[in-house]
Amino acid sequence: MKNSKKSCCPASSKTDEEAKTVNDDIFHVTIEGNLNINSEIGLILPTYCEATNIEKIIREIEKLNLKTSILVIDDSSPDGTSEIVRKMQKEYDNILLAVRPKKMGLGTAITDGFRIFMSLRNPPKYVVTMDADHSHDPKEIPKLISPIKQGYHLCIGSRYRRGSIIKNWGIMRRAISKIANLTAKFVIGAKISDYTSGMRCYSMGLIKSMINELHSRTYEIQIETIRQAHLRKFKITEIPVTFTNRKKGKSKLSINEITDFISYTLSINKKPKWQK
């Protein structure tokens, strides 16, 4: 079934039609591409207005020749990001595209990406997330997956380990990132240095275990996933990465998203419901 469209619902053993009916109110998105894809690595690229970046980043990933399916979750970007992805689907058969009706936030883009990969006939073993704005270097993907192959469940590409590099970040962004990380460290207490990094690799086992507990709309998804992994005693590790500030396109980090992040962090209870 090449270049087919599918209405995807949260991972379920139901037929498409049943799942569509049951879950319409929760999640409904059309996936374009080869749904029979069978790849070891599923890569989620969330995009909103990344027309100046998307083609180059996809080509860089393709050049690595990993067993990857690339899933772009685009929120109907008015700059035509999804049209560029459709053009690239004609060249590469490992690209999936899910276009959502409007800007719905990074958090729901990532959880929808998890659900889409879970619902494939051949789900990937490893799921990588990264930004589409060249802040993360695809060449670091193999380094990120390696600990998961050795038994870890979550590997974070950290900007704050010995060997990490941050390029072209102003003092304000550094300060926001530091404060967000200190707060997250205080409320979650996992032994890691970068709670907000968007470059990660998850095991499919961890994703299945936590998916129903992920409710973040925006950037707080990054710490919510770490919190869920930590509460469930899944093994978390980090590797140092090089992070480069975006050169093209605009940041989507708005005051609203920072406020959502702060209120999520302050509302965190360290104990899961079943331990209260």
Ligand X SMILES: Nc1nc2c(ncn2[C@@H]2O[C@H](COP(=O)(O)OP(=O)(O)OP(=O)(O)O)[C@@H](O)[C@H]2O)c(=O)[nH]1
In the complex, which residues of this chain contact ligand X (CB under 6 A)?
A: 46-48, 50, 73-75, 103-106, 109, 131-133, 135, 198, 245-246, 251-253
The least distance separating Mg ion from the CB of residue 260, rounded to whole angstroms, comes to 17
C-beta of residue 133 within 8 angstroms of C-beta of residue 106: no
Q: Residue 252: which of ligand X, Mg ion, none does it interact with, CB under 5 to 8 A by kind?
A: ligand X
> In terms of CB distance, is 11 or 110 closer to ligand X?
110
The least distance separating ligand X from the CB of residue 98, rounded to whole angstroms, comes to 9
The least distance separating Mg ion from the CB of residue 187, rounded to whole angstroms, comes to 24
d(CA 74, CA 53): 13
Tell me if 50 contacts Mg ion by CB under 5 A: no
Tell me if 131 contacts Mg ion by CB under 5 A: yes
> In terms of CB distance, is 209 or 242 closer to Mg ion?
242
Count other Cβ atoms within 10 Å, centred on residue 174: 12
Q: Residue 103: which of Mg ion, ligand X, none does it interact with, CB under 5 to 8 A by kind?
A: ligand X
Beta bridge partners of 29: 8
Choices 132-140, 175-183, 227-235, 236-244 (CB under 5 A): range interacting with Mg ion: 132-140
> In terms of CB distance, is 40 or 79 closer to Mg ion?
79
- Residue 65, Ramachandran bin (φ over 0: left; ψ between -120 and 50: alpha; else beta): left
Q: How many residues bind Mg ion (CB under 5 A)?
A: 4
What are the residues binding Mg ion (CB under 5 A)? Answer: 131, 133, 135, 246
